Amino acid sequence: MKHVFKTMVTVATSILLATTATDSFAQIPGNLREDSLYIRKNYSKLERLIPMRDGVKLFTSIYVPKDESKKYPIMLDRTPYSVAPYGEDKYKMSLGPSMLFAKEGYIIVYQDVRGKYMSEGEFVAVKPFIPNKTKKTDVDESSDTYDTIEWLLKNLPTNNGKVGTWGISAPGFYTTMTAIEAHPALKAASPQAPVTDWFMGDDRHHNGAFFLMGTFSFLSSYGAPRPEPTTQTAPQFSNFGTPDSYEFYKNIGPIKNINEKILKGENVIWNQMMENESYNEFWKSRTPVPHLKNITPAILTVGGWFDQEDLYGPLKTFAGIEKNSPKTSNFLVMGPWIHGGWSRVKGDVLGNIRFDSDTGPFYRENIELAFFNHHLKGEKDPQLPKAYIFETGSNVWKKYDAWPPKQSQEKNLYFHAKGKLSFEAPKATPTSFMEYLSDPNKPVPFTSEIRNVRGADFMYEDQRFAATRPDVLVYESDVLTEDVIISGNVMADLFVSTTGTDADFVVKLIDVYPGDAPNNSPIPGTKMGGFQLMVRGEVMRSKFRKSFSKPEAMVPNKVEEVKFDMQDAAHCFKKGHKIMVQVQSSWFPLVDRNPQKFVNIYKASESDFQKATHKVYSTPSQPSHVKVRVVK
């Protein structure tokens, strides 16, 4: 299954499987059998090669309602993950953002993007937008969408002249691009967990730190050469030789060994990662945010608070449109979901955590379908708030007329000596810091589980396994005497020193359950007393503390400020709970190991890796803290 849904429940991975009239449905869940039969009964499938302005043809699968007595809007999903199944007699088992769209009556279109699967041309990952096109060969994802919509309007006689676009993850990026210099018929777009900046916070890097495990696994297939159009997916690397990713990536050694031992220099996208260590023009040109100006379609941006891949994207896409295109009908939805979790499942639980309602169906019917029906079919305006936000902890949907909420105020959670945490600033004490020894040969694991697939479980896993390590600092508040609700950006602001010349700093904001918390976990036998739920966790590569474009060495033993975006959260720390912050310098193999020496890490050798002692300070002049927005 492709990148979009690979972290979802197993049954969802069958959604894109092909079916024919003679297929056996015995092994398919009943709802999918019903959906498949409905599609065959009510839809005809067309496959076309649609020409772009430069002559390149893009492979497109088109599902058209058989009832020709009506006019239908078009829903378009452009994807690098295949429009499979191929063949006009082979149908998807589900259509649209959800089957609600198929049953509502939409023309639903899927397209292999340029250079992927059965489309012609050369694939360029997160292809830069070209703002001033002067010739037919000046093509990008915006122009390819424009040309596709133009063809669809002219060649599908039952369309009503209105188009919507949607997509999750990389298709979310393509959806964002559809809204830039949009075709006049494009009336609504929904970028969902959209890839937005592969260096700053989505998928491949966070604050300059390389997300090793997910990137290698994904790019081993996604970046593999495709000499000619094909219906086949390049195989993903699977020869781990161990069920333990910690062991596998430790044994590989420095990152450069991945190319030498496994990829052999043939993976173009991996090579691009290795050749662009800092935030240079290669990365800057690939984010759509600066181009989100004069956006004419209505935008519904969607994300999940437990998204293991693209939490950054929806938040920055929404904010970019608010800033650069303030007149746009621009909406944000954030729910208690992992990557893509809003699109298929109930959304009532994640691991041990219950959300007390079926958030998935609520979103699909009352928000997503209502949004598109209004803009593409002229149905009643659902009167969506600017920000429709699920607040974890309290498990309630909140409606705000701005994000972050206007009623939220910035407050600092200060670190104190001996591991105390409070909203009160530190006072002068004999002990002004806490310290730990960070050893790249014994990095802090990102999960307590033995696994090779990253998955999403680490996003809501009990963090007590990390809190007990000597190389993890723990700061904890007193028991809360009232609810503390945060909504908006979370920012880490550390005052640190190191005996090395580079270091990573991982900060986790955690909700600590009381010891007598009820054992209401959906996983039988789980005891929730003392459970440590990670509300937000983020990493910063300190060489980028002053500039992501110009890395700079740390001066050994000099106290320096390392400040970084931890992205947003909406959470209620309930009365009787505690607030905790953990600080560490490795998160392995989710994030690659920092040698703790100022070098180009992608070219580092084993001899470059060294132990280092890190100190985190908490004084009136060096007040390490986590900044949150508290709602009163």
Tokens representing residue 41 in the block:
């009964």
Residues 371 and 417 in one domain: no
Q: Which residue has the tokens 């690939």?
A: 286
The answer to whether the beta carbons of residues 564 and 511 sit under 8 Å apart is no
Residue 474 maps to a domain: yes
Give pLDDT, residue 442: 98
For residue 14, pLDDT beyond 70: no
The answer to whether the beta carbons of residues 532 and 463 sit under 8 Å apart is yes
Q: Which of 373, 400, 427 is the last residue of a domain?
A: 400
Question: Left if phi > 0, otherwise alpha if psi is -120 to 50, otherwise beta: which for 356?
Answer: left
Residue 155 maps to a domain: yes
Residue 613 maps to a domain: yes
Residues 393 and 441 in one domain: no
Residues 425 and 332 in one domain: no
Residues 443 and 375 in one domain: no
Give pLDDT, residue 429: 75
For residue 66, pLDDT beyond 70: yes
- The overall average pLDDT reported for the chain is 95
Residue 154's φ and ψ, nearest 5 degrees, are -80, -20
Show the 3-state SS of 404-440.
CCCCEEEEEEEEEHHHEEECCCCCCCCCCEEEEEECC
For residue 30, pLDDT beyond 60: yes
Give pLDDT, residue 28: 67
Tokens representing residue 548 in the block:
């992501």
Mean pLDDT of 9-25: 39
Residue 205 maps to a domain: no
Reported as a single tens digit per residue, the pLDDT across 445-504 is 999 999 999 999 999 999 999 999 999 999 999 999 999 999 999 999 999 999 999 999
Instruction: Transcribe 461-479 into DSSP letters.
Output: SBTHHHHTSTTSEEEEPPP
Give pLDDT, residue 33: 86
Q: How many CA atoms lie within 13 A of 111 on its CB side?
A: 31
Mean pLDDT of 359-379: 98
Residue 475 maps to a domain: yes
Reported as a single tens digit per residue, the pLDDT across 519-561 is 999 999 999 999 999 999 999 999 999 999 999 999 999 999 9
Mean pLDDT of 369-378: 98
The pTM of the full predicted model, rounded to 2 decimals, is 0.95
Give pLDDT, residue 428: 79
What DSSP element (H or E) covers 176?
A: helix 170-178
Give pLDDT, residue 632: 85
Residues 131 and 154 in one domain: yes
The amino acid present at 436, given as its one-letter code, is Y
Residue 239 maps to a domain: no
Residue 218 maps to a domain: no
Looking up residue 434, the CATH number of its domain turns out to be 2.60.120.260
The answer to whether the beta carbons of residues 631 and 408 sit under 8 Å apart is yes
Q: Which of 370, 400, 430 is the last residue of a domain?
A: 400
Residues 361 and 510 in one domain: no
Mean pLDDT of 140-160: 98
Strand 298-304 versus strand 578-584 pairing type: unpaired
- For 23-32, 211-220, 526-535, 619-628, which range has the lowest pLDDT when averaged over its residues? 23-32
Residues 130 and 43 in one domain: yes
Domains in the chain, number: 2
Tokens representing residue 225 in the block:
């050469």
Residues 455 and 596 in one domain: yes
Residues 390 and 420 in one domain: no
Residues 371 and 454 in one domain: no
Interior CA angle at 478 toward 473 and 479, to 5°? Answer: 125
Mean pLDDT of 24-28: 55
Residue 182 maps to a domain: yes
Residue span of the structural domain in which 593 resides: 409-631
Give pLDDT, residue 430: 72
Confidence of residue 27 (pLDDT cuts 50, 70, 90): low
- What is the Cα–Cα distance from 198 to 204, expressed in whole angstroms? 5
Could you tell me what percent of the chain has a pLDDT over 70?
A: 95
User: What is the length of the chain?
Assistant: 632
- What is the Cα–Cα distance from 545 to 626, expressed in whole angstroms? 16
Give pLDDT, residue 26: 52
Residues 569 and 456 in one domain: yes
Give the residue from 382, 88, 83, 352 showing the smallest Cα distance to 233.
Answer: 83
Give pLDDT, residue 1: 37
Residues 396 and 413 in one domain: no
Looking up residue 314, the CATH number of its domain turns out to be 3.40.50.1820
For residue 23, pLDDT beyond 50: no
Q: Which of 346, 372, 400 is the last residue of a domain?
A: 400
